[in-house]
């Protein structure tokens, strides 16, 4: 799967405000299940990456920052 490690890092960060809004509007139980689904997905991504052997992902940013990568 492409960008698996990037997804595992940034999906929980990007969707945490959504979980907060769900918690405020619908209560803690739907927010808990939403958060559980996000964390389950990212855990599965990390397990798949670990089982597939060595995984490298490189992301060129700008000339100023250089290259960002996950191993």
- pLDDT score of 52: 87
- pLDDT score of 3: 81
Number of domains, the chain: 1
- pLDDT score of 28: 95
pLDDT averaged per 10 residues in sequence order, the chain, 71 residues:
84 96 97 97 91 78 64 58
Burial class (CB in 10 A: 0-12, 13-18, 19+), 71: exposed
- pLDDT score of 39: 96
Structure tokens at 15: 């969707």
Distance CA(19)–CA(42), nearest Å, equals: 15
- pLDDT score of 25: 97
- pLDDT score of 64: 65
Q: State which residues form the domain around 49.
A: 4-70
- pLDDT score of 54: 79
Structure tokens at 33: 């299940």
State which H helix or E strand residue 3 sits in. Answer: none
Query: What count of Cα atoms within 13 Å lies in the side-chain half-sphere of residue 32?
Result: 3
């Amino acid at each position: 799967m492409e960008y698996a490690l990037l997804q595992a890092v940034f999906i929980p960060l990007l969707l945490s405000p959504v979980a907060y809004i769900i918690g405020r509007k619908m209560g803690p139980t739907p927010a808990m299940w939403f958060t559980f689904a996000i964390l389950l997905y990212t855990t599965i991504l990390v397990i798949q990456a670990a089982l597939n052997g060595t995984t490298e992902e490189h992301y060129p940013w700008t000339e100023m920052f250089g290259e960002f990568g996950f191993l």
